[in-house]
Amino acid sequence: MEHEKGKAVSVLRSTARRSVLKAGAALAGSAALGLPGMVMAQGDKIRIGHLTPETGFLGVLGKYAVMGVQLARDEINASGGVMGRQLDVISEDSVNPQVASTKAQRMIERDKVAVLMGEINSASALTISQVAERYHTLFMCTGARSDVLRGKDCNRYTFYVDIPVTVMVNAVGLALVRDNLVKGKKIYSLTADYLFGHDLSKAAKKFFAANGGIQIGDELVATDVTDFSPYLMKIRQAQPDLVATNLAGNQVTNFVKQYAEFGLPYPVVGFNLNTADAWAAGEGNLSGIWPTVWHQDLKTPGSEAFVANFTKRYGKPPENHAWVEYVTLKMLAQAMNATKSTDTEKLIAYFESGAKFDILKAREGYFRSWDHQLMQEAYPFTVKPKGQSKNKYDFLQFGEAVPASNQPLEMMAPTKAESACKM
């Protein structure tokens, strides 16, 4: 009797084992065929490789970039994802150009990202762009502003979201000309000693020369400099009519604070200032006219919703690098949904098609097909009169958008004839 029971149990076990093996084979076959509803397909996320400086002189800006892209990711995923798939954004500190290149390559090879995005440092953006070209992978360059990236170093796999230095210089320069602060004026400049600073200085000098300004000095400043007293002594000795800064990151913050402490009487103009750096400088230290690509006081429904959601989540308003990462991921989602694909070639074709994007401004943006630059409005800003600010984030006074609503968006950007970009 026990022998018969044993045989029965053995048969049942053998039958069950064969059923499990058949089920497993069927599941594997279905997954290979891409049939819907299978567990493996449901877990297939779209990976985005996000690189931005989270340490160093641009670290404060990079932290805002991470917050912006995380908010966009969560909103997209909560609304059903992209083509029914969730987005998985892998954010890492780009550190420096060499590390940025290595991490970009690893994200493509090991993490199998569909797209690379991010970066504020122009030198690091260049090395990431070179990796993207080598691996035929799309790179959405968000915060790097060097004209060179869009010029001789452009490639068909890289698109540029932030405004380039020429637009920044023109945005402020037009206000300076209006206020008679260029023609016949002696100008002393300070320039960040790396790719972006050199590029910015070149554009600024070109503008001053074209409008009758007289350049009497231009000091290169290492990116790790925190004590500006030697430069301030030189400015005092030179007695310029105008001080122009081509600095970046916390260089700007340190400079404007120390400039205020020195009590120098010469007006300051800056061709690069992010709102986080302005907030760090503080009311009472900042003066002059500066450019920005976006600000939290824009009165559009999309911008107001973004500011409200960001502030609710992080306890402070978004800075322009939070905005640029946020809208970039939203543009990527639009492109993927429109093409029903993550294929690089299809995405490039879509971005080159002149497709319009809601970038939370009064006017929609679009990419130029020949240099992949996003065309959009920019804004000059200065400082509110003392006593008018509501809090430490509210002392900046923003001007009207440039170009004006009746002017083409490409008015202030380098033209194709002026550009060295050849794709």
- In this predicted model, what pLDDT tens digit does every residue of 312-321 receive, in sequence order? 999 999 999 9
Q: Which pLDDT score, from 0 to 100, does residue 16 have?
A: 41
- In this predicted model, what pLDDT tens digit does every residue of 70-106 receive, in sequence order? 999 999 999 999 999 999 999 999 999 999 999 999 9
Can you read off the two tokens belonging to residue 334?
A: 């639009």
Q: How far is CA 36 from CA 31, 32, 41, 42, 135, in A?
A: 8, 11, 7, 8, 30
> What's 265's DSSP letter?
-
pLDDT tier for residue 43 given thresholds of 50, 70 and 90 = low
- List the domain boundaries for the chain: 46-163+298-375, 166-292+379-412
CATH of the domain spanning 46-163+298-375: 3.40.50.2300
Q: Which pLDDT score, from 0 to 100, does residue 284 have?
A: 86
Separation between Cα atoms, residue 258 and residue 260, nearest integer Å: 5
Whether 46-163+298-375 shares its CATH topology with 166-292+379-412 is answered yes
Q: Which fold has domain 166-292+379-412?
A: Rossmann fold (3.40.50)
Of residues 208, 222, 202, 206, the one with CA closest to residue 152 = 202
Separation between Cα atoms, residue 79 and residue 145, nearest integer Å: 32
Q: Residues 126-145: what's their mean pLDDT?
A: 98
pLDDT tier for residue 26 given thresholds of 50, 70 and 90 = very low
- In this predicted model, what pLDDT tens digit does every residue of 200-215 receive, in sequence order? 999 999 999 999 999 9
Q: What phi and psi values does residue 4 have, to the nearest 5 degrees?
A: -65, -40
Q: Characterize the bridge pairing of strands 290-292 and 366-367.
A: unpaired
